Amino acid sequence: MWPGLIGVDFFLGLLGCLLLLWLAKVPINRLVERKENYYERGGDSHD
């Protein structure tokens, strides 16, 4: 379906890449990013 339209895939690549970057860097990164020693600061002491 998609490959049938010339040029669509180029824009799909552009928009898809932008979307993934935005998703990763804005909402998800804010939710999940922690300092590297996060688990060493008491977390892994229970491991």
Partner 1 sequence: MIEFHPGFILILGGLLAPLVGKRLRQMVMVITPLLALLASLSLSVGTQWEYSFINEMQLVVLRADQLSLLFAVVFSMLTLLANIYALHLDRRGETMAAMLYAGSSIGVVLAGDWLTLIVFWEIMAIASVFLIWNRRSPQAISAGFRYILVHLLSGSLLLAGIFLQVSGGQLEIISLTGSGGWSYWLILLGLGINSAFIPLHAWLPDAYPEATITGSVFLCSFTTKTAVYCLIRLFPGTELLIGVGLLMALYGVIYAILENDIRRLLSYHIIAQLGFMVVGVGLGSALGLNGAAAHAFNNILYKSLLFMGAGAVIYATGYEKLTDLGGLYRKMPLTAVCFGIGALAISGVPLLNGFISKPLLTTAAAVQNLPAVELLLYLGSIGTFLSIALKLNYFMFFGTDKGIKVQKIPTNMSVAMVGATLLCVLYGLVPSLLYHRLPFVMDYAPYTFEHVISTLQLLLGTFIVFWLLRARLIPHQAISLDFDWFYRKPFATFIWWLVKMIGKFTKGCGVMCNAALNKVLPFSRNPVKWLPQTVEGPAPSVYNEDRYRVSVGVVVLMSVMIFVVTVFYAWL
Residues forming contacts to partner 1 in the complex (CB under 8 A) are: 1-4, 6-21, 23-25, 28-29, 31-36, 38-39, 43-44, 46-47
Residue 24 CB, nearest distance to partner 1 (Å)?
4
**Cβ at position 21, least distance to partner 1 in Å:** 6
**Residue 20: half-sphere exposure toward Cβ, Cα within 13 Å:** 6
Least CB distance from residue 30 to partner 1, whole Å?
Answer: 11
